[in-house]
Amino acid sequence: MHALDRNTVPTPPCLAAPLAGRGYNHLRGGEKEEIRASLLDLQKHRCAYCERRTGEERDDGHIEHFRSQGGHHHLSLAWTNLFWSCNDEKTCGKHKDKCDRASGPRAAFDPNDLIDPCQDNPNNFLLFVYDGTVRPLEGLDAVDQRRAQETLRVFQLADSAYLRKSREDAVKPYVGAIDSLLSAGVELVVRYVQSEIVKIDSAPFATAIRQYLEGIQA
Q: What angle do CA 20, 25, 29 make, to 5 degrees?
A: 105
Provide the whole-model pTM.
Answer: 0.94
More confident residue, 144 or 69: 144
Give residue 73's pLDDT: 85
Q: How far, in Å, CA of 165 to CA of 92, rounded?
A: 16
Is the pLDDT at 147 greater than 70? The verdict is yes
Q: Helix or strand or coil: residue 44?
A: coil
Is the pLDDT at 115 greater than 90? The verdict is yes
- Ranking 44-48, 102-106, 114-118 by mean pLDDT, the lowest is 102-106
pLDDT digits (tens, 9 = 90+) for 117-138: 999 999 999 999 999 999 999 9
Is the pLDDT at 21 greater than 70? The verdict is no
Q: How far, in Å, CA of 143 to CA of 131, rounded?
A: 27
